[in-house]
């Protein structure tokens, strides 16, 4: 079999960024009667292109399989809706949008963001591939087209609705296999004097925080500002400004304009590029250390679990986020090392984690089982969750995180029961 090719520049991909072995799709939670059947595992082998430096996972699973019936409704998360509202306020001010303006959002989900545009009397259109999610947006009064964005669909939408003053693509850019066709679709949608804004998890933060559990099959590209600029340039768009955001462990929000009308890039663009260059992200060799850091995280977690098992101590997991499954499968964990996970999401309760087959229970199970250690899976919320779990201390239990490195959390004064 020949080597995969780069989705940006078509060079052969021979260099490994990190190889996490085989994993099932991270959102495929199992029911009890599926446990005695086979389970499909796909490679999680992330490459870095020697020519253009795009860090990428080959499309082992078809995007249409994953996103056409996507069950996630953004409005379920209060913090996302608040994030979207403040984004809209910021964009309206920055671009002086008014009743004559037109805003298009790609991967508009259930209208969680565009509802704030509509409320301001600004014309809006969503583009969303999952029909059931798009239906929820239409019920909110957000006109939505059910399709995947590419060059052809972008041109078609612009021909029927007009070109947009603002095109928004938040947290979707990294999730499209044909990223150049998608970016070209953005260019087709936007007016010649319009603006395209994109939010992406920042590769620099992924590396700094050892956030390797954010690698999963639906996440095809791991972008720096440099590689984002290169993808957008291939579609005729120029990055003119960038903001750093705390979301998803550290994200970038880029603002781009059609190349022929672009203003000079802001100081923020130069400053983020300089930070990436200093971290080695603008050279192939600078990507080499990540696999070693990941191996260290795995060794520490496996060693911790083996030692607890030898001592007859119990470990359970708090939270069953999809991304936790990358970590657990990479570490080869099974239910004899982590007895169960608890999660507040009723959809996950009574099910089993993909690959590891660890059962998921409601949070009340913690107090019944009184485990010796609770491993907090959503490490980005560790302080908030440690506070919620202060009861664990009452039976002598301890809280642990695996990322960015294994740590048994100190018993904080004032959180005693
Ligand atoms: Zn390339």
pLDDT in tens, 258-279: 999 999 999 999 999 999 999 9
| Cα 407 to ligand 1 centroid, rounded to whole Å | 37
In this prediction, residue 248 carries a pLDDT of 78
Residue-wise pLDDT tens digits, 160-207: 999 999 999 998 999 999 999 999 999 999 999 999 999 999 999 999
Distance CA 297, CA 291 (A): 10
Question: How does 45-70 read in b/e, with b if 16+ C-beta sit within 10 Å?
Answer: bbbbbeebbbbbbbebbebeebbeeb
**Mean pLDDT within 224-239:** 98
| Cα 52 to ligand 1 centroid, rounded to whole Å | 4
Q: What is the mean pLDDT of the chain?
A: 93
| Cα 234 to ligand 1 centroid, rounded to whole Å | 12
Q: Is the pLDDT of residue 67 over 70?
A: no
Distance CA 136, CA 73 (A): 9
CATH 3.60.15.10 fits 291-408, yes or no: no
Query: Which three-class secondary structure string do you get for 311-347?
Result: CCCCEEEECCCCCHHHHHHHCCCCCCCCCCEECCCCC
Please tell me the least confidently modeled range out of 43-47, 57-61, 369-373: 57-61
Reading the block at residue 371, the tokens are 């485990």
Domain spanning 66-287: which superfamily?
Vaccinia Virus protein VP39 (3.40.50.150)
| Cα 246 to ligand 1 centroid, rounded to whole Å | 28
| Cα 154 to ligand 1 centroid, rounded to whole Å | 24
| Cα 282 to ligand 1 centroid, rounded to whole Å | 13
In this prediction, residue 335 carries a pLDDT of 94
CB atoms inside a 10 Å sphere around CB 162: 14
**R_g over Cα of the chain:** 22
| Cα 266 to ligand 1 centroid, rounded to whole Å | 26
| Cα 54 to ligand 1 centroid, rounded to whole Å | 6
**Mean pLDDT within 292-310:** 97
**What residues pair up with 346 in beta bridges, in sequence order?**
none
Which residue is listed with tokens 């939270």?
319
Is the pTM above the cut of 0.85? yes
Higher pLDDT, residue 401 or 247: 401
In this prediction, residue 414 carries a pLDDT of 47
| Cα 170 to ligand 1 centroid, rounded to whole Å | 23
Helix (H) or strand (E) holding 170: strand 164-170
Helix (H) or strand (E) holding 127: strand 123-127
In this prediction, residue 65 carries a pLDDT of 64
Distance CA 159, CA 138 (A): 21
- The structural domains of the chain, with segments of one domain joined by +, span 66-287, 291-408
Distance CA 201, CA 208 (A): 13
| Cα 273 to ligand 1 centroid, rounded to whole Å | 18
> In this structure, what DSSP letter does residue 30 have?
B
| Cα 15 to ligand 1 centroid, rounded to whole Å | 11
In this prediction, residue 3 carries a pLDDT of 81
Reading the block at residue 348, the tokens are 């996950």
Q: Is the pLDDT of residue 47 over 60?
A: yes
Q: Is the pLDDT of residue 74 over 70?
A: no
Would 66-287 and 291-408 be classified into the same CATH topology? yes
| Cα 7 to ligand 1 centroid, rounded to whole Å | 7
């Amino acid at each position: 079999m020949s080597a995969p090719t780069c989705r940006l520049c078509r060079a052969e991909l021979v260099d490994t960024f990190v190889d996490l072995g085989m994993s099932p799709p991270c959102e495929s939670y199992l029911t009890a009667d599926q446990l005695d059947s086979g389970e499909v595992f796909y490679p999680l082998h992330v490459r870095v292109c020697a020519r253009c430096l795009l860090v990428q996972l080959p499309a082992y699973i078809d995007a249409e399989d994953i996103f056409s019936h996507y069950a996630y409704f953004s409005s379920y998360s209060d913090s996302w809706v608040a994030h979207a509202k403040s984004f809209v306020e910021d964009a309206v001010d920055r671009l002086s949008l008014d009743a004559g303006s037109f805003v298009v959002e790609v991967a508009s989900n259930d209208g969680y963001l565009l509802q704030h545009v509509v409320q301001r009397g600004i014309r809006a259109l969503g583009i969303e591939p999952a029909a059931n999610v798009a239906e929820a947006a239409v019920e909110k009064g957000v006109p939505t087209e059910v399709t995947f964005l590419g060059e052809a669909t972008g041109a078609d939408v612009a021909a029927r609705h007009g070109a947009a003053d603002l095109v928004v693509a938040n947290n979707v850019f990294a999730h499209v296999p044909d990223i150049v066709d998608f970016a070209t679709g953005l260019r087709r949608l936007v007016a010649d004097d319009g603006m395209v804004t994109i939010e992406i998890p920042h590769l620099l933060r992924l590396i700094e925080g050892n956030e390797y559990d954010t690698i999963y099959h639906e996440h095809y590209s791991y972008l720096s500002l440099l590689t984002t600029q290169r993808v957008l340039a291939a579609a005729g768009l120029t990055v003119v400004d960038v903001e750093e955001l705390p979301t998803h462990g550290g994200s970038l929000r880029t603002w781009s304009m059609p190349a022929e009308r672009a203003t000079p890039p802001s100081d923020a663009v130069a400053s983020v590029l300089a930070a990436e260059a200093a971290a080695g992200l603008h050279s192939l060799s600078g990507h080499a250390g990540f696999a070693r850091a990941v191996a260290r995280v795995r060794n520490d977690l496996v060693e911790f679990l083996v030692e607890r098992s030898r001592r007859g101590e119990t470990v359970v997991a708090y939270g069953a986020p999809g991304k936790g499954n990358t970590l657990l499968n990479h570490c080869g964990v099974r239910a004899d090392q982590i007895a169960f996970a608890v999660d507040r999401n009723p959809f996950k309760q009574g099910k089993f984690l993909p690959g590891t087959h660890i059962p998921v229970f409601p949070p009340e199970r913690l107090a019944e089982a009184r485990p010796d250690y609770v491993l907090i899976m959503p490490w980005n919320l560790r302080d908030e969750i440690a506070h919620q779990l202060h009861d664990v201390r009452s039976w002598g239990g301890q809280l642990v995180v695996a990322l960015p490195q294994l740590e048994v959390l100190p018993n904080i004064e004032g959180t005693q029961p």
